[in-house]
Structure 1
Amino acid sequence: MPTLKQYRDSLQQLQSVWDNLSLLGQLSGTGTDMNETRQDFSQVTNNVLDSLAEETLNKTVTAITVKAQVAVDIVIRNLFERTADIGFLSTDDNVSGFLIKYAENTLDDNDYLALKLRFEEYVKKYSVYFNIVLLDLNGNVLVQLDDENPISVIHDPLVNQAIDTEDAYVEVFRKTDLLPNQDVGLVYAYRVTTDNSKKALGVLCLCFRFKNEMEGVFSDLITRDEWALGFLLDEKGIVISSSDHYQIPLGAKLETAVDKDWILTRFAGREYIAVTRETKGYQGYMGPGWMGHAMIPLDHAFDHDVSGNVDNIDKDLLTKVMRSPLLFSQTLLEIPKQASMIQSKLNQSVWNGNIWQKRISSGLTHQANFSKMLLWEISNTGFKTQNVIENTVSDLYQTVVSVMLDSSSFFASLAVDIMDRNLYERANDCRWWALTATFQKLLPKTNLTTQEQERIAGVLRYINGLYTVYANLVVFDRYGKIIAVSNSDYKDCVGTIIDAEWVARTRSLKTSQDYVVSKFEPTPLYKDEPTYIYGAAIRSEDGQFIVGGIGIVFDSTPQFAAMLEDSLPRDANGDPIDGSFTLYVDGELKVISSTLPKFKVGSQFNLQPHLCKLETNQAAFDIAIYEGKYYAVGARASSGYREFKGPDDEYQNPVTALIFIPLGNAAEIDAIIQSEYSFQHNQFKPTTTNNSSATAEEYATFYVGSQWLGIPATQVVEAIQSTKIKSLPETSSILAGVIQHQGAVIPIINLALTLGDTSNDTLDGQLIVVIQRTEDSSKFGILVNALGEIPAIEPEKIESIATIFSSANTTAEGITKVDLENGKHNLLIILSAESMWTKINAVHQEYLDNSKLKVAA
């Protein structure tokens, strides 16, 4: 972990400095004990380095976990569609008619050519297949699309399985003599029957382009600059698909981590972090038992620095979400505060050390200067340590936020990929079903009988039973009149004219490869709710004339909702992250679907609209605030799948997927940030007297609120942390109360109130500067927020307050300009101990007078 090593090295160097300073402090007698400070800093640094290591590991594990999960789930979704394909194509009239003639021995060359052309048409639509093979009951090859496949008869068990199975399909992934030139093949097979009989006539096989499909999956999941590797494993943990055959070849057996978050594993002499995920399945289909697996070489697992992801994010928003208790534990959020408090205690110790040196080093200028320089070095080292801790924590915060932003973009990409792949199938379905022989034979008739209409409706119902993603299927004639529907809920639509622009476009399509898609708008074919309808022209049997069309009504409400639900980021238990939501938005900023009911379908989307104007396939992310909460927002513009919405497809419909992942409650974060303002990170340099005049006097300085104040160092006893201050009833609020100090009771002034700062009302936990007017006079204390430098100032450089405010009732007696190395403050107000004591006496007298009046009453 390079970043972790960098910070650890810096802190170890500082630890060596601490050791040297501690020894010098003991030898010089500065009066400053650093042991507690060193231990406190050491504990904090250990905590922050442990947290950074944990989050750095989590970043890597999270990244490869989603890759493993998506790799298997996206494929299972695809294969689910294949199980429906084989069921429908095996009932195709052209296929069954061919086999009937084969049994009757009446086939001629035209029959073979016609069926092969039929298979070509199918693969033009469903390009996920590379071959279709029709077998007789003995495994003899009758027709196949691929002329290069050297088979005439097969003896594979899948033939008998397809004939005898009680399931709706047979799915095999193994070596098969159906594909002798391939080591393994993914084949879907089923028996072919007639309408009136369940008796098998033959077996139809669809050969899936598995290698091609996985190349596309891995290219989307893993970019060229990533070290991650993606795999599909079978149930035995053997690699059946690899994103990098050179590192992990096909057939290798890998150690899996099904029951663990991640494992450290070794392969071919190299160590990897690995995760394994089983599929979540799709609509009950769990696939062939495959698992998603992802690995990353240990020596490159933490190379990728994601902190640059936030460079273009609004700095104010970023600062706020980096303080979110939703993203970080309270312990982690408290680390900068702890470092600040340790530094504050160290400053107090150094400050007191300087006051003490002033007393014991009278006349020993050289010794005093050495002690002051040593004290400054101690304070400076503490400041450096605090700075490294804060930078480490900041890096940690940025890592977590960057991962969230990166994840939002990834899941948006997943959502749009799922949508494009799904709608690709819809474009295929409408074109293929338009070629159904029953439709082509009956629609040219002028007046269809009730039986003929019912025959068309029966085909539609059968299709709809296999392909449940549709709410309704309709066939209409050349005039747009509905002939039949698949869903009886829409039987009243039969005989009506579809008055929609997509119908007119359907009637003008030129080839069997062409299709149309309606706008996403309400339609009576979907209970007046908005959806997409995919349409294709039905042609006469000779292909010369358009005789009608088919419209397939996508069941958009549940289907899009399921896609978005599957795209939500999830926690370790597989549950969607609480508060996250996702949407599909079209090019007109209309909501197509949303997992958050407040974004209604069809409504205008105005939250982060710039993310909906991305170029094709472009991804982006940002931070947004919505209803008082901060969100990481990921977006991805659709780019289609295979030829669907590709550069050669006339259909182009820009849709953006957006994922919102909660980053925290705005009010809660603001409260945390506000509470941290009281911890001023101050570093001061005690001034030596080498370059000062003999008349210069040292002033002990401190902060009350934002004001920089000072008093002669000779009048200061020490700075202490306030213990429980005992308040006095019926006294002015300027007098905070009294405390015990060195055996005496001393009053404490809340100086902020005399300066007009009413916000400084917290008394406990603050610093108290104890002041003694003269060597033998009474002491009192001042509540302060932080300590400052101890500069030496010549008397002539102090401007008397009296010359500025002639009748001012103030505790200040002068003001001076001080040049400091840090440049943060240069105007110092000199306080008068006598004026403050006068105020204390006045308050005390008021307290006595009130007491006498009470007694008299």
Structure 2
Amino acid sequence: MSEINKENQQANILIEASGGLEKSLQILEEINQKANFIALCAAIEGAKMKNRTGTFSIVAQQISNQAQKNNSLSEKLTSIVKKIQSQALDAVAIRNLELAADLIDKLDRNLFERNCDVQAWATFDSIKNAILSSTSENISAACDQLEKLVMIYMVYSESLLLDKSGKIIASAKSRSLIGQNLIHEDWFLTTRDGQVTVTDAHFNHLIKNNTVAYCSPVMSADNEIIGVLANFFNWDFALEMITSGQYSELTNAVIINNRSKVIASAHESQIMQDHYDWLKAGRLSCKQHVGYSLEKARNGESLAVGFCYTKGYNAYRGKGWSAIISESINTTSIPIHAKPLSRRNNDGTTTLVYPEEASSQIDSEKSGLALINTMKEIDELVYEINANNREVKLLAVNASIQAGIAGSDGEGFSIIANEVALLAKKSLNFVETINIATDNLRKVVDESISIRLLDAAKDTSSKVDRNLFERYCDIQAWSTFNKFKEILEQQRFADKEAIELLQKIHKIYEVYHDLYILNVNGDVVASAIDQSMMNQNYENTEWFREALNGQIYYSDIEYAEHLKNPVIKFSSPIINENNEIIGVIVSWFNCNFLNDIIKATIVDSKSETYLINRRSQIIASKTPEEILKKSFKTESFIQNFSPNNSGITNKTPAKNEPAFIMGYSSSKGYNSYKGQNWVVVTQRPKNASQEAQSITPEQKFKQKIKWIV
């Protein structure tokens, strides 16, 4: 079975494995019924033989005592099995909570970028000039600029420029829209009043598609609002985040707004039509909660549900949306309940609903350990059942001896002795059956850890690629600023206005150490932050030479001495109206934002995540001291790694080091960004995962099972 299929089927495999324990209870029930019947028969025979000898009565009483003890053990086991089934259902729901958290986080990170884009685009001179002087030449230049930007970023359906009266004066794609007036649109009025505005997801009749509009005031040189720029996000890219999630056929992933309306789903019929207020998870999401639930679908199916309210990202605070992952479970009986674990506050902080349950362990780890601890209880109980079984065997021998002594008078008791022996054998078979069921459950719990490592590696790799795609687009967009072309063509250092423009871009996007403009000789003529870099020469660097040759360049992660930090350099040629390369713009990406993605990847409290480059070096880690210092080059899966590959492997330990189990996934790139063939590795100590053991009933009798947790 492929890793993806295993991942997709894991939930119901867990439920089926716990169901195996329930089936074993039916065997125990049959044994108990037989034991009670034998005890009754033994009591009758004992009463018949009472005048001859008291031995039969004693044996009969012992048989009755063992039957009662079996009944008691059966009740305990039934209770534990119900508990483990409930925990298995919770474990599935909690895993769906983690998937929901990953989905809403991925969406938040994307929409943060959209929020930055519209503010940056509003600073272009061609945009301002079209408003200040709406000549055909200026309007055409603004349309061309917007068209170029939309083409670079690839994720927009349209970009519209409006003057203060609400009239569309420029469009990226549909110039037939020019002249229409949108003064009655709420987003226009709010933005014209000075706020950067983000709409809810909606169907827009202008672009004839579902979208989210990102709107920024356009400011004059005197800092007065002269118009509004509105970028319309292509909502298909939000749907792609769901469809690329590789959820199972039994799983439905949706994004809902703060009124419980479905705004994104793999099922097109749900989008902008369905509501999730029928689901308790949906109602709790709208109250800004994060948690999980076990519920019934509208068609009566059992569902394990995870829900997560947005927390936004950086300056983008989100729109009150939530991700909900619901999975159909192969069981008709579920303990319907919902458990909100935390609540998102309006200031971006999170409040625990149950602060007394706070720990360093994440929820899925706690649910897995709860399952393991309950299986320990079963081991203890099986130990007792086996001990009781041995006593039953001795009773069978004793009853057979007494029947032999009594001769023909003991024939009835001889039959009972045989039945007791058969009962003991059946009890032994039961122990073997329940051992198989618990071993299967252990294997599923253990395998789920491996699959979660792989799942985390793939999701993290996707987030890294998506982030760097944005950086790849940014550098191309900024190379089109006329202000930068102007200083290069005049062969001079940047003036105050050009530097302020660089600083504004730097502030909007938050993720860069610095931005430089360089002339064709490689000299820095403008810097956003560090003015001491002016006139520094970079003509011998690869990123400068490649950009000067017309390439959009991105480096591996490297240590920048002057910044005292690891960086990725993105560079682009700056081209004038005659299609001549007149300079280069370079951004120094702050790799702490990759570390931020790595830190957010948590399988459990013992897991670690790394980003590995083509030279097998660690280039991102939650431990800064490891970056560019440690390597995975001795690992065989790295040595033989091929692009677009993923899987699960074991790390061979060096002397006195623990063994690790690892999930890994290579970068695939995203859209026009082709990636760097980096690898994300998520690992945890193998001795910390629950290794399945096949233990015979005799071994279970001789020793109590010890787990390494």
TM-score (norm 1): 0.66
Residues 554/390 of structure 1: CA separation in 2 closer, same or farther (3 Å cut)? same
Q: Is the 8 A contact 1:227 1:300 kept in 2?
A: no
Q: C-alpha displacement at 1:334, in angstroms?
A: 4.1
In the alignment, does 2:589 pair up with 1:547?
no
Aligned equivalent of 1:290, options 321, 328, 332: 321
Q: Which residue of the partner structure matches residue 596 of structure 2?
A: 562
Q: Which residue of the partner structure matches residue 106 of structure 2?
A: 74
Q: Which residue of the partner structure matches residue 421 of structure 1?
A: 466
Q: C-alpha displacement at 1:68, in angstroms?
A: 2.1
Q: Which residue of the partner structure matches residue 8 of structure 1?
A: 22
5 Å-filtered alignment, 1:272-671, equals: 272-298=303-329, 328=371, 330-351=373-394, 353-354=396-397, 357-358=400-401, 361-362=404-405, 373-446=418-491, 448=492, 450=493, 452=494, 454-488=496-530, 491-492=532-533, 494-509=535-550, 514-527=551-564, 529-543=565-579, 545-556=580-591, 558-569=592-603, 577-596=604-623, 599-605=626-632, 610=637, 614-622=641-649, 633-645=662-674, 652-661=675-684, 665=688
Q: C-alpha displacement at 1:16, in angstroms?
A: 1.6
Q: Which residue of the partner structure matches residue 814 of structure 1?
A: none
Q: C-alpha displacement at 1:36, in angstroms?
A: 4.2
5 Å-filtered alignment, 1:247-286, equals: 250-254=273-277, 255=279, 256=282, 257-258=284-285, 259=289, 261-267=292-298, 272-286=303-317
Q: Is the 8 A contact 1:427 1:534 kept in 2?
A: yes
Q: Is the 8 A contact 2:485 2:575 kept in 1?
A: yes
Aligned equivalent of 2:699, options 680, 688, 703: 680
Name the structure with the higher helix share: 2
Q: Is the 8 A contact 1:507 1:549 kept in 2?
A: yes
Q: Which residue of the partner structure matches residue 213 of structure 2?
A: 187
Residues 396/462 of structure 1: CA separation in 2 closer, same or farther (3 Å cut)? same
Residues 300/641 of structure 1: CA separation in 2 closer, same or farther (3 Å cut)? farther
Q: Which residue of the partner structure matches residue 129 of structure 1?
A: 156
Q: C-alpha displacement at 1:463, in angstroms?
A: 1.4
Aligned partner of 2:583: which letter?
A: G
Aligned partner of 2:670: which letter?
A: Y
Q: Is the 8 A contact 2:197 2:216 kept in 1?
A: yes
Q: C-alpha displacement at 1:664, in angstroms?
A: 5.4
Aligned partner of 1:80: which letter?
A: F
CA distance in 2 between partners of 1:331 and 1:295 (Å):
26
CA distance in 2 between partners of 1:360 and 1:268 (Å):
62
Q: Which runs of 5+ in 2 are unaligned?
A: 1-14, 43-55, 335-364, 705-709
Q: Is the 8 A contact 2:168 2:177 kept in 1?
A: no
Deviations 1:518-561 (A, max 9, x none): 2222234533x432101111122322x212211101111x2112
Aligned partner of 1:656: which letter?
A: V
In the alignment, does 2:106 pair up with 1:83?
no
In the alignment, does 2:58 pair up with 1:24?
no
Higher RCO by CA contacts (8 Å cutoff, separation 6 or greater): 2
CA distance in 2 between partners of 1:171 and 1:292 (Å):
19
Q: C-alpha displacement at 1:402, in angstroms?
A: 2.6
Deviations 1:139-182 (A, max 9, x none): 212121222865622231322322212x4x11112658772634
Q: Which residue of the partner structure matches residue 769 of structure 1?
A: none
Q: Is the 8 A contact 2:554 2:570 kept in 1?
A: yes
Q: C-alpha displacement at 1:131, in angstroms?
A: 0.8
Deviates more, 1:244-253 or 1:68-77: 244-253
Q: Which runs of 5+ in 1 are unaligned?
A: 304-321, 570-576, 646-651, 683-704, 706-761, 766-857
> SS at 1:231's partner residue?
strand
Q: Which residue of the partner structure matches residue 224 of structure 2?
A: 199
Q: C-alpha displacement at 1:49, in angstroms?
A: 1.6
Q: Is the 8 A contact 1:11 1:388 kept in 2?
A: no
Deviates more, 1:545-554 or 1:345-354: 345-354
Q: Is the 8 A contact 2:512 2:588 kept in 1?
A: yes
Residues 12/631 of structure 1: CA separation in 2 closer, same or farther (3 Å cut)? same
Q: Which residue of the partner structure matches residue 846 of structure 1?
A: none
Deviates more, 1:245-254 or 1:79-88: 245-254
5 Å-filtered alignment, 1:793-804, equals: none
> SS at 1:621's partner residue?
strand
Q: Which residue of the partner structure matches residue 319 of structure 1?
A: none
Q: Is the 8 A contact 2:91 2:368 kept in 1?
A: no
Residues 11/249 of structure 1: CA separation in 2 closer, same or farther (3 Å cut)? farther
Deviations 1:678-726 (A, max 9, x none): 96357xxxxxxxxxxxxxxxxxxxxxx9xxxxxxxxxxxxxxxxxxxxx
CA distance in 1 between partners of 2:505 and 2:315 (Å):
19
CA distance in 2 between partners of 1:274 and 1:141 (Å):
44
Q: Find the structure with the greater CA-based Rg.
A: 1
Q: C-alpha displacement at 1:73, in angstroms?
A: 1.9
5 Å-filtered alignment, 1:833-852, equals: none
CA distance in 1 between partners of 2:406 and 2:154 (Å):
96
Q: C-alpha displacement at 1:437, in angstroms?
A: 0.8
Aligned partner of 1:351: which letter?
A: L
Deviates more, 1:238-247 or 1:424-433: 238-247
Aligned partner of 2:240: which letter?
A: G
CA distance in 1 between partners of 2:260 and 2:490 (Å):
58
Deviations 1:613-653 (A, max 9, x none): 554444323455877666553222211222221xxxxxx41
Deviations 1:582-601 (A, max 9, x none): 11112321101111456343
Q: Is the 8 A contact 2:517 2:585 kept in 1?
A: yes
> SS at 1:680's partner residue?
helix
Q: C-alpha displacement at 1:468, in angstroms?
A: 1.3
Aligned equivalent of 1:215, options 239, 242, 247: 239
Q: Is the 8 A contact 2:606 2:685 kept in 1?
A: yes
> SS at 2:556's partner residue?
coil
Deviations 1:103-139 (A, max 9, x none): xxxx23x444333222221112111112111112112
CA distance in 2 between partners of 1:134 and 1:374 (Å):
91
Q: Which residue of the partner structure matches residue 355 of structure 2?
A: none
Deviations 1:790-814 (A, max 9, x none): xxxxxxxxxxxxxxxxxxxxxxxxx
Q: Pairwise CA RMSD of aligned residues?
A: 3.6
CA distance in 1 between partners of 2:607 and 2:581 (Å):
48
Q: Which residue of the partner structure matches residue 350 of structure 2?
A: none
Aligned equivalent of 1:93, options 96, 120, 125: 125
CA distance in 2 between partners of 1:662 and 1:493 (Å):
49
CA distance in 1 between partners of 2:575 and 2:421 (Å):
92
